[in-house]
Amino acid sequence: LSTATMGAQMSLIAPNLYLGSWQGANNAKLLEENGVRHILTIFDARFSMPACVKQRNHLQFLAADSCQQDIRQFFQQSNDFIHSGRLAGEAVFVHCMAGVSRSATLIIAYLASVTDLPWDTVLSAVRAAKHDVAPNFHFRAQLRLWQNDGGLEAERARLLEKFGPWQEDRDRLLKLAEICAEFERTGYWRGELSIERRGNAFFAVHHLPDAEDEVDDAAAGDTEQAEAREDTTERNGHGEDLEEAIEAVEEAKPSDVAAAGDRDSNE
């Protein structure tokens, strides 16, 4: 297993699956070097796409990074687009403006759909690969509701019937989630070169006291209260190369992370 990170522009989340920013979509050299043949764009307006995007299989959704946006409506089409590309052995790049909220939500939904892992375990795994990932509280509430009302399970069944079984991502995601959980316990990223800087950036975004309360309020329909809690801290930091970190947990005993996601399904 290996990971690769190209700054905020493009981060490898799983084999042939990249998450990143608008800058990554504009970087023809980076796209070519990583074998990207499929690009999924999610913006709140249509932009004139560069030639390096037009030359590839391209899908675009119109969606704002806001508490009024229904992002769940895109999950099925997004899943089909991403999975078809990966099944063909080709790399897929999913991006929004910053690669933090909208595009990250689509990747979380996809990886939860092709594994049996809960959405929040997948979120931890994606954060380990790209540290600034932070879906807005409304998107996290939609992911939680999607899991709790049976939508996620139905999507798993649909993908299984359409594409067949897929066993490629589960173990890797659990290892990444364990790395994220270790950081939450210790403040240390395995394989990091700049521990303090990355640690401060991670906590600034993901560990404010009201972070989970925002999701709970939104899931309960109390949008006004959720908005009052919303974190407006500037998002900083991005993933580093996690090769050493993943290797370090390769033979580790199963952690509590593997079962951590059960808490949502029991709510």
DSSP state of 94: E
Give the whole-angstrom CA distance, residue 136 versus residue 243.
28
Give the whole-angstrom CA distance, residue 54 versus residue 48.
10
**Residues paired with 11 in a beta bridge:** 5, 19
CA dihedral 181, 185, 188, 191 (to 10 degrees): -30
By three-state DSSP, how is residue 207 classified?
coil
CA 179 vs. chain centroid, Å, equals 15
Residue closest to 240 by CA, chosen among 204, 203, 188:
188
Of residues 52, 67, 96, 180, which has the active-site annotation? 96
Does residue 210 contact residue 152 with C-beta atoms inside 8 Å? no
96 is annotated as an active-site residue: yes
Residue closest to 17 by CA, chosen among 94, 71, 74:
94
Taking each helix axis from N to C terminus, what angle separates 102-113 and 137-148, rounded to the nearest 10 degrees? 20
Return the active site residues: 96
